[in-house]
Structure 1
Amino acid sequence: MYFKMMKRLNLLAGYLVVLCVLLSSCATASFSKYKGVGRVKRYDFYSAQLPDSFDGFRVAFASDFHYESRFTACRLPGMCQALRSLDADVLLLGGDYRGRNGGDVTQLFQALKTVETPCGTYAVMGNHERGQADSLARKAMQATGVHLLEHEVDTLWRGKEYILLCGIRNPFDLKRNGVSPTLALREEDFVLMLVHTPDYVEDVNVSHTDLALAGHTHGGQVSLFRRWTPAHFSKYGNRFLTGLKYNSAGIPVIITNGLGTSRKDVRLFTPSEVVLVVLHKKK
């Protein structure tokens, strides 16, 4: 009896291993035509604050490259093709450019330079930009014309109308950066915030922000139904895991799964992605 039971348990374990492999293969498969990019995720965002001339303005957003982790050199062409396909008016980069085991960020930013937009490319730093990784990223940005925003606000113009783009410096250091630059802005202006972690929009008063874009969570890398994950990239658990969420004040934040991986080079039910946000004037 004992041996029969053990045989059945071993057989069941074998079936479970096969099932997990099959699920993993399906869950990490790319459903986009761009190698290395699991999907292109589109959001349509409506706001009465948006100037008329910015109706239809297209924002491309990519984050958490961790180059090279799972996101290797062979995936750079696919990323660039995906970003160019968005026909964006501006490209925003959300931080974490270099992998934990190193990576040529100059090569990464040279590739991103081929994604040309009318308003250029803007970036913030992530938590992995420390020491050498920080200095290498800054040097690569300067060489490729990327505008680094560190607790700064820039103006994007269309004719005589404009929107404001606010970039947050190290959102984990609230002692130094716990006052949002948006507090000095006008309520009637349309303000787009770029920040590495979505926690910042909950930790800090970000009044006058109309929409925030963030990364950092990787969608959990491994998740079930976009609600549960064993990894914890946020102090708020899975509240800001991925997708369109809102802080306690009702301010919307879009969180991307990003492109690379951290800790473990695996994704399960959390496809890598680039994001397109299309702004619309709310009538």
Structure 2
Amino acid sequence: MSRRTPIRSRFQLLAALLVTVVQLPVVLVLSWLTHTPVPGVFALLVSSPYLRQLQSPWHSTPPALSTYLALGWWSACLVFDLLMLPAWLAVRAGAPTGLAWGLAGAIAIAMGVDAVLGRPRLRKRVVRVPGLPPELEGYRIGQISDVHCGPNVPEERVASWVARLNALNLDLVTVTGDLITHGSSHVEAVARALGGLRAKDGAFACMGNHDYFTDGEHIVRSLEHEGLTVLRNRGVVVKRGAGRLYVAGVDDTWTSRDDVERALAGRPEGVPTVLLAHDPDLFPQAQARGVELTLSGHTHGGQLGVPGVRRLSLARLITRWTAGLYRQGRSWLYVNRGVGTTGPPVRLGAPPELAVITLRAA
């Protein structure tokens, strides 16, 4: 029998303490309401199987029913913790006790289920571009980001997201980095799935930091073998009649491979530009060079945040550009929350998404 590593044991202990803190208020309230120890026993039975198989913050075994049950339960507990004060105040104000606590519980359960089983939302946004050629009026650009193909995201799921984008009959489709979680085990799988992307003017990709958690050249070769154009500090001109669009991509910032100036070196004067940059912190550089639209990912919207308040998420720890659409002057940035996850397959208050950006003349 192999002995656990000290790092793994410490991580499991820390995770157990964290989920105990999250669950304890819920268990106490439910035990008080039901006058039984059943909530505590339930919490123990749900939590133990998942905690035992944890290896590190980013690695675990492929998810099973116990994984989704534990993560959904913990997510619901966290939401319920936040709703306890409003529920208590409602009771103090004269609301029926059962109604107040029951409504808090229903909201918590609904959000817990959505956190682990939620289907990617389709976000549609309009970006107005000064001097947009008439031929590009209404031009639709699809974006998929942060796929993180691996134990938590199999090839079949990626293929289902690809099918949703293909059904939209897009003009252009983009993939903005972090295609895998780590290692080489899922490189061919994600390349096969993303190779199914179809759009009138093609499919383009840029690299993310996770794509260098293995041999980055291997990923590039696999993607291009499946028909995607990988843009690493370079760009191409896409033509639609007499109208032209410059599509460029920047390489990874975390490994210092990024070069915005090189990516834009081939841009014809006066041609609108779409820049694929996995890291949204490159937006100020793009704006300084007059890039009309930058498409990014990387943040996952925090993976844990307050619904509808993009400033209140874990993404604020790494960037000011957390999620959604931003504008500075004539330059726009769209930060995609992505479809996969880093670490546990759970998203609370930061649902996965696919995006479609429509270009309109300013």
Q: TM-score range by the shorter chain?
A: 0.7 to 0.9
SS in 2 for 1:135: helix
Q: In the alignment, which residue of structure 1 is the partner of 2:135?
A: 53
Compute the displacement of 1:254 (Å). Answer: 0.2
Q: Which runs of 5 or more structure 1 residues have no equivalent in the other structure? A: 1-7, 31-36
Compute the displacement of 1:222 (Å). Answer: 0.8
Q: Which has the larger radius of gyration?
A: 2
Compute the displacement of 1:174 (Å). Answer: 5.6
In 2, Cα distance between equivalents of 1:161 and 1:10: 62
Q: Which runs of 5 or more structure 2 residues have no equivalent in the other structure? A: 1-24, 34-75, 81-104
**2:336 aligned partner, one-letter code:** T
In the alignment, structure 1 residue 82 sits paired with structure 2 residue 82: no
Q: In the alignment, which residue of structure 2 is the partner of 1:271?
A: 351
Tell me the alpha carbon deviations over residues 136-192 of structure 1, each in whole angstroms, 9 at most, x when there is no partner: 311211211211111112100012221111111223456863646437746632111
In 1, Cα distance between equivalents of 2:247 and 2:111: 40
In the alignment, structure 1 residue 230 sits paired with structure 2 residue 299: no
Compute the displacement of 1:123 (Å). Answer: 0.8
Cα 1:178–1:58 change in 2 (3 A) is closer
Choose the corresponding residue for 1:25, options 90, 108, 113.
Answer: 113
**Residues 7-26 of structure 1 mapped to structure 2, 5 A cutoff:** 11-12=28-29, 17=77, 19=105, 20-26=108-114
In 1, Cα distance between equivalents of 2:26 and 2:169: 54
**1:159 aligned partner, one-letter code:** G
Aligned length, in residue pairs: 266
Would you say the 8 A contact 2:295–2:335 is kept in 1?
Answer: yes
In 2, Cα distance between equivalents of 1:204 and 1:142: 26
In the alignment, structure 1 residue 70 sits paired with structure 2 residue 152: yes
Compute the displacement of 1:39 (Å). Answer: 1.0
Would you say the 8 A contact 2:233–2:260 is kept in 1?
Answer: no
Compute the displacement of 1:23 (Å). Answer: 2.8
Q: In the alignment, which residue of structure 2 is the partner of 1:254?
A: 334
Q: In the alignment, which residue of structure 1 is the partner of 2:326?
A: 245
In 1, Cα distance between equivalents of 2:215 and 2:169: 30
SS in 1 for 2:314: coil
Q: Which one has more relative contact order, counting CA pairs under 8 Å at least 6 apart?
A: 1
Cα 1:178–1:79 change in 2 (3 A) is closer
Tell me the alpha carbon deviations over residues 31-60 of structure 1, each in whole angstroms, 9 at most, x when there is no partner: xxxxxx421111111222211101111111
In 2, Cα distance between equivalents of 1:155 and 1:203: 21
Cα 1:214–1:81 change in 2 (3 A) is same
Cα 1:175–1:142 change in 2 (3 A) is closer
Percent of aligned positions that are identical: 22
**Residues 1-283 of structure 1 mapped to structure 2, 5 A cutoff:** 11-12=28-29, 17=77, 19=105, 20-30=108-118, 37-100=119-182, 103-130=185-212, 132-172=214-254, 177=259, 179=261, 181-182=263-264, 185=267, 188-202=270-284, 206-224=288-306, 225-231=309-315, 234=318, 236=319, 239-247=320-328, 251-282=331-362
SS in 1 for 2:141: strand
| TM-score normalised per structure 1 | 0.82
**2:360 aligned partner, one-letter code:** H
In 1, Cα distance between equivalents of 2:261 and 2:345: 35
SS in 2 for 1:199: helix
SS in 1 for 2:212: coil
Compute the displacement of 1:107 (Å). Answer: 1.9
RMSD: 2.9
| TM-score normalised per structure 2 | 0.66
Greater fraction of residues in helix: 2
Cα 1:112–1:151 change in 2 (3 A) is same
4+ residue runs over 6 A deviation? none
